[in-house]
Amino acid sequence: MPAPALTFTAADLDGFREVQRLAYRCAETIAAEMEPGMTEREVAARMKDFLMSEGADDCFHQPFAWFGDRTAFRGFIGFKHLAGFNPAFYPSNRRLERNMPFILDCAPTRNGHTADIGYCGVVGENRALDRLMDDLMEYRFLIVDLVRQRQSLAEVSQAVDRLCLKHGYEPRHKAYPFEVLAHRVEKLQDDGRPQHLSLARFGVRNVTELLKDRVRGAREGWSPLWNSKAGSDHAPTPGLWAVEPHLGFRGVGAKWEELLVITEDDAFWLDDDVPQVRRWKERGLWPADTARKAA
Amino acid sequence: MNPSETVQSGDLSLAVYTWGTPAPGKPNVVLVHGYPDAASVWTRTAEILAERYYVIAYDVRGAGRSDVPDHTKAFELEHLVEDLAQVVEATSPDQPVHLVCHDWGSIQSWEAVTTDRMAGRIASYTSISGPSIDHAAYWIMSRLRSGSTQEMATVARQLSHSWYIGAFQLPLFGPAIWKLGMDKLWPSILSKVEGVQAEASPTQTKDGSIGVNLYRANFVQRLLKPQERRTDLPVQVIVAKRDRFMLPEVLDDLPQWVPNLWQREIDAGHWVQISHPERVAAMASEFIDFVAGGAETTALRRARRRGVRKPMTGKLVVVTGGGAGIGRETLLAFAEQGAAVVAADIDLAAAERSAELARLLDVEAYARQVDVGSTEQVEAFAQWVESELGAPDVVVNNAGIGLSGKMLDTSVADWDKLLRVNLWSVILGSKLFAQQMVDAGKRGHIVNVASAAAFSPNKALPAYSTTKAAVLMLSDCLRGELAEKHIRVVSVCPGFVDTGITTATRFVGVSADEQDKRRAQAKKAYGRRNLKPDAVARAILDAVTNDKPEVLVGAEAHVLRFVSRFLPALSRRMARLDLAK
């Protein structure tokens, strides 16, 4: 059964890129406002307000914020019951302290285009977090390189697992529902309404698309949930994937999340102008020859 | 012992003793004794220190040949500080002194280093078994306020070690016991209870009975109304591990008052300067030389205390096969508890990565490339550890490889390699490092990682199981041998742990394709079992912390041990199943 071809136009990709930039602008703006004493709930609510005021009309999920060892999904948040649907993921009353790592994760939809991003930081300093964020660069190259080589998505995910093992990190994205490294994102109809229904903090329209993909994928031999298991043992499926490697070291977790565009014979990150790439460039980690590669 | 001079402090004259001669550029060291001692308690230590320094000791007011004040208030800390100031003024007018103090001498010197009277007159402070009363009061208050039962229990434990302080507040009690014969008994009490051989002091009756006033004049007052006492001076605290009168936990909050702090341990009772004068002199010299502008030795660097003290702070842990799997997790588990760690691995990059991760946990970490199958390399490694870092406190002989296949398919070369890596390395590692611990008088731990395979015969793992069984027996014998040296041997028998060893195991007697298949199968089965290396690491840490001789990790290890002990026929039956299929 043939996998779907990439149906998005250049204009569509521009729309997705715009909303991904909005999502990262949201994370950066709120992160700059964060102060010790704020709770995860307060920060998540600020992110939601920001996105609404910038014209977001729906979401894949409402904003998440994790502080301290919750970034590494330690404790109750790490339990994997119900295939990983764990209410402890939802923003809690944990208060931010100095030098405590945090992760912000939001997935707004605007005019039918959805992004899903992850952003981490700290008020103060945290050497373990810095190291994790530096090392996260290798994963960004690894994933896109292996997809370009047309390795199966399960093999790519297993390669990520092996890199975690080499680095001495836990692959904490295994705590996400269905242990996903990535999930698919589809374009929604732009119906002009200012707001759409969310259930249990997940956008109904986006989750419905995911379910439709699941049914269609079962028929065609692919899965919209990309993990290390047999269900992902298929060639890279053209389309948009929100990829989210999430690393944990003792009580500190870090991640980024970006949209990966997979075409019939190529793959590329939707946007290189994202905070983590800018950070790697600032720190002199970004390899010199990638300009050619990315082009 | 006759005083070399007397120094006047107020209307009292103090007996001062000196060793060596002062010279420009030579540091001056002042020794302050505790209760119920006199300056003579320092004799041996002073003689050693005098080889390099000008050494001064004096009898604290009321003790030895110094005058006795006529009222209790004269024993208040400010007068004791004044005495010290006068002695320093008289004996070292041109340069600040290095203080080395024990017990009450240390308590009163905390007052000297944290108040203004002697500002600029003290260069460094080595404190043994005597905390600041004010610090102790804050320590008690913060624990009682924490509401944690565990913290309160620690306070109760310390108070039970300080029973005599309460008793000394009673009228008559303290002086009376000294006058009623305790003075004569004191040397034999020290020898029986503390195991130290002290000469009878001619002034023992006076030292014991008059000195009770030190407690009466200061304790209650300070404990009830403590003041914040801080100092920027370099301070080295030496903890006597088996001190009956003080718990090291009392020093937990010290960095909050003392930013320049080093903390070290001696495995000894309260009177370290009598039982271990060489060690005390060596530690004092190391610190004095460093403060005087010398290099910070590795031992000192490890003793540096910043922030919260953790249970393993100051300890050195060596892990072979520290670059991955159980080894890396064990290394990190000890690092998380504050230990300095050394990762030895055949893969240097992997060892360096482990060390780097350990450094993220704020400890010193080192990586060395070692092929544990090579005698020369293990010997060179042990040598390096001893000369660069000193004898380790914990050695985890963990490096090992897997080999699966029937006995008749296993070649001599395969046997040879497996025996070297899995068994010979443990023999060497145990022997060399145990010797270092014995030489250094350390009560360390040797941890040997065996396997549940050590007691579970199976036709698919003859060579591997044989090496692990030998490791188990070796550890049992060594435990017996080292018991009298107080060095503990721990054997660890994990069940099916999901590590890199499953994908690196060689399967002999099968084709390359079949080997790949079996590796994948093993990886999958172990993955399903989901017993992680950090479970083994936690078990090892627990065994070392709680002195357990043997740990089994995973339910299967317990079941297999039970079967091997109580159902040997079943065990033999199970040996016929091919585990690798």
CATH at residue B214: 3.40.50.1820
Burial of B292 (C-beta count, 10 Å sphere; 0-12/13-18/19+): middle
Nearest to B360 among A128, A165, A166 (CB): A128
- Could you tell me the end-to-end alpha-carbon distance of chain A, in angstroms, rounded to an integer? 32
Domain boundary among B305, B336, B351: B305
3-state secondary structure of B276: coil
Q: How far apart are CA A232 and CA A182, in angstroms?
A: 11
Give the per-residue pLDDT at A78.
Answer: 59
Q: Could you give the angle at which helices B104-114 and B77-91 cross, rounded to 10 degrees?
A: 80
Q: pLDDT value at position B79?
A: 95
- Shortest Cα distance from A102 to chain B (angstroms)? 18
The residue type of B173 is F
Joined together, the tokens standing for residue B325 give 């799997």
Say whether both B301 and B322 belong to one domain: no
| The pLDDT of residue A270 is above 50 | yes
**B277 and B344 both lie in a single domain:** no
Nearest residue on chain B to A131, alpha-carbon basis: B360
- B215, B174 contact by CB (below 8 A): yes
Give A165's contacts in chain B (Cβ within 8 Å). 324, 500
Contact list in B for residue A249 (CB cut-off 8 A) is 357, 360
Cα A114–A120–A121 angle (5° rounding)?
145
* The residue type at B335: A
Using the 3D structure, point to which of B274, B305, B336 is the last residue of a domain. B305
- Output the pLDDT for position B208: 87
Nearest chain A residue to B498, by CA: A165
Q: How far is B429 from chain A (nearest CA, A)?
A: 25
Mean pLDDT of A261-278: 95
Tell me what the mean pLDDT of segment A38-53 comes to. Answer: 96
CB pairs under 8 A between A and B: 20
d(CA A201, CA A87): 10
Q: Is residue A102 within a helix (H) or strand (E), and if so which, with residue range?
A: strand A101-110
- Amino acid identity for residue B223 in this structure: L
A225-257 as b/e: b if 16+ CB within 10 A: bbbbeebbbbebbbbbbbbbbbbbbbbbbbbbb
Among B340, B539, B351, CA closest to B447: B539
Say how many C-beta atoms besides its own lie within 10 A of residue A218's C-beta. Answer: 12
B150: exposed, middle or buried (C-beta count within 10 Å: 0-12, 13-18, 19+)?
Answer: exposed
The structure tokens 């994760």 sit at A105
Residue B335 belongs to domain with CATH number: 3.40.50.720
Q: CATH for A10-294?
A: 3.90.230.10
SS3 per-residue string spanning B190-227 = HHHHHCCCCCCCCCHHHHHHHHHHHHHHHHHHHHHCCC
For residue A258, what pLDDT band results from cuts at 50, 70 and 90?
A: very high
Position B157 scores a pLDDT of 86
What is the enclosing helix (H) or strand (E) of B289? helix B277-291
CB contact under 8 A, A128 and B354: no
Q: Same structural domain for residues B232 and B348? A: no
- Phi/psi class of residue B315: alpha, beta or left (left: φ > 0; alpha: ψ in -120 to 50)? beta
Domain count of chain B?
A: 2
Span A174-192, mean pLDDT? 91
Name the closest residue on chain B to residue A167, using Cα atoms: B353
Structural contact between residues B351 and B323, judged by C-beta atoms closer than 8 angstroms? yes
In this predicted structure, the answer to whether residue A292 has a pLDDT above a threshold of 90 is no
- Given an 8 Å threshold on Cβ–Cβ distance, is B350 in contact with A166? yes
Residues B278, B334: one domain? no
Helix (H) or strand (E) holding B563: helix B555-566
Q: Looking at residue B115, what DSSP letter applies?
A: S
Q: Are strands A225-226 and A182-185 parallel, antiparallel or unpaired?
A: antiparallel
Q: Which of B397, B401, B399, B388 is nearest to B432 (CA)?
A: B397
In the stretch 118-137 of chain A, residues with CB closer than 8 A to chain B read 127-128, 131
Distance of CA B417 to the CA centre of its chain: 36
Of B298, B296, B268, which Cα lies nearest the Cα of B280? Answer: B268
Give the per-residue pLDDT at A4. 62
Interface check A168 vs B, CB under 8 A: yes
How many CA atoms within 13 Å lie on the side-chain side of A136? 29
Helix (H) or strand (E) holding B396: strand B394-397
Interface probe for B, chosen from A130, A155, A166, A252 (most Cβ of B below 10 Å), is A166
Cβ–Cβ contact A284 with B under 8 A: no
**B310 falls within a domain:** no
Residue B581 inside a domain? The answer is: no
User: Are A106 and A51 spatial neighbours (Cβ–Cβ below 8 Å)?
Assistant: yes
- Bridging pattern class, strands B506-507 and B403-404: parallel
One domain, residues B297 and B178: yes
Query: B382: domain range?
Result: 316-574
Q: Do B170 and B274 sit in the same domain of this protein?
A: yes
- A77 compared with B526, residue with greater pLDDT: B526
The reply to whether B171 falls in a domain is yes
DSSP E strands: which ranges in B10-96? 12-19, 28-32, 54-58
Q: How many C-beta atoms surround the C-beta of residue B530 within 10 A?
A: 10
Residue B281 shares a structural domain with residue B383 = no
Query: In terms of domains, do B345 and B209 share one?
Result: no
Which residues of chain B fall short of a pLDDT of 50? none
Residue at which a domain ends, from B285, B305, B325: B305
Give A166's contacts in chain B (Cβ within 8 Å). 350, 353
Residues of B with a catalytic annotation lie at 464
Q: Are B424 and B416 in contact (CB under 8 A)?
A: no
Which pLDDT belongs to residue B250?
Answer: 84
Question: Same domain for B284 and B327?
Answer: no
**Domain coordinates in residue numbering, chain A:** 10-294
Q: Are residues B262 and B361 in the same domain?
A: no
**Three-state SS at B509:** coil
Q: What residues of B are in contact with residue A250 (Cβ under 8 Å)?
A: 332, 336, 361
The answer on B395 and B297 residing in a single domain is: no
For residues B534 and B430, membership in a common domain is answered with: yes
Q: Which of A130, A161, A170, A250 to mutate to test the interface with B (most CBs of B within 10 A)?
A: A250
Tell me the two tokens of residue A39.
């709770």
**Closest residue in A to B349 (Cα–Cα):** A166
Cα atoms in the 13 Å half-sphere on the side-chain side of A186 = 18
Round to whole Å and give the CA distance between A57 and A108: 8
Helix (H) or strand (E) holding B367: strand B365-369
DSSP A37: T
